[in-house]
Amino acid sequence: MFSAPKAKVTIILANLGTPDEPTVPAVRRFLKQFLSDQRVIEIPKPVWQIILRLFILPFRPKRVTHAYEMVWGQDSPMREIVLEQVKAVQQQLIEHYPQFELNIVPAMSYGNPGIQELLQKLSLNPQDHIILLPLFPQYSATSTAPLYDAVAKWILTQRNLPGLSIIRDYYQHPLYIQALAQSVRDYQAEHGGAEKLLMSFHGIPQPYADKGDPYADRCRITGQLVAQALGLQDDQWGVSFQSRFGKQEWVKPYTDQLLKDWAEQGVKSVQIMSPAFSADCLETLEELALQNAETFKSAGGEQYAYIPALNTRADHIVLLTTLLQANLDALTQTFAH
């Protein structure tokens, strides 16, 4: 009796990326790749490359390397966490889908393991279907779209194309909101509460939002839903945006300025979280946890705490597997023997 081979399905969990090591050359290499992406920086390429090569790459890598040294363990925190997320998701999915030859792998838009290199490897072992899950809860052209670009570029080089599913985002998925709210409850059960909860998201330039990037609106919706899940009053929480870069206006309010304002208004305790990050990284561990603590306290605040990203929390893994199961269940019908 003929038995058809199992369908080959690769699931890619993709994040932004990280340097290979906390050294100036590695950080410079990473920043050059990241800041050369016109999805990230929309200044005309010839002009921007002059700025990048003459005024940024000669100086910024040294400062950034020092920051990485403060948070680096055996590897970059982000890469370590993404690898653990891949293992956890794999454990959940493989036993439930024995009909597939499942391959669950990590990828980064910039740095290693790179998305383009991964796709080229898959060319050598043709897949029946690829599912791409960008680990960005709120879609943005500056973060999610580069992964689409990488896939599109790869598709142009292929003859035998697999099926393809891309999970755009999940900014208001009930399991995502529940996981965020529960992470706050768990933290406060151990450490106590605060006068204010600040949900700080990575910012984007205001002109990007004006041109149609939905990211900032999605962040605000996430914030509203988390506050609602926690039963917070309007004066107990806020949404803000961090990590502005350059001189142009970015979406507001700015995290550092809002923290100063709150401290000057008499707020003594703040807890901050960053729902846009599925894995802790330099931005959360150094900028949010350390720099902004100093900003708040120097303006008169007293207690400041960072609530970790969802990382490998069990409820986060349930969310990720649930997002993927919807696609795998559909494929079960497609590849039914």
Which residue type is seen at 182? Q
Predicted local confidence at residue 96, as pLDDT: 93
Nearest to 198 by CA among 111, 61, 303: 303
Helix (H, G, I), strand (E, B) or coil at 83: helix
Binding site, annotated residues for Fe(2+): 202, 283
Q: Where are the domains of the chain?
A: 7-170+315-334, 174-306
Predicted local confidence at residue 16, as pLDDT: 98
Find where tokens 């670009």 sit.
Answer: 149
Predicted local confidence at residue 116, as pLDDT: 97
CATH code of domain 7-170+315-334: 3.40.50.1400
Edge-to-edge, what's the strand order for the sheet holding 129-134?
100-111, 7-18, 129-134, 163-166
Binding site, annotated residues: 202, 283
Predicted local confidence at residue 2, as pLDDT: 56
What count of other Cβ atoms lies within 10 Å of the Cβ of residue 152? 10
Fold (topology level) of 174-306: Rossmann fold (3.40.50)
Predicted local confidence at residue 257, as pLDDT: 98
pTM given for the model: 0.96
8 Å CB contact between 65 and 27: yes
8 Å CB contact between 137 and 171: yes
Predicted local confidence at residue 247, as pLDDT: 85
Predicted local confidence at residue 333, as pLDDT: 82
8 Å CB contact between 175 and 322: yes
8 Å CB contact between 31 and 64: yes
How does pLDDT run along the chain (337 residues), one tens digit per residue? 556 789 999 999 999 999 999 999 999 999 999 999 999 999 999 999 999 999 999 999 999 999 999 999 999 999 999 999 999 999 999 999 999 999 999 999 999 999 999 999 999 999 999 999 999 999 999 999 999 999 999 999 999 999 999 999 999 999 999 999 999 999 999 999 999 999 999 999 999 999 999 999 999 999 999 999 999 999 999 999 999 988 899 999 999 999 999 999 999 999 999 999 999 999 999 999 999 999 999 999 999 999 999 999 999 999 999 999 999 999 998 887 5
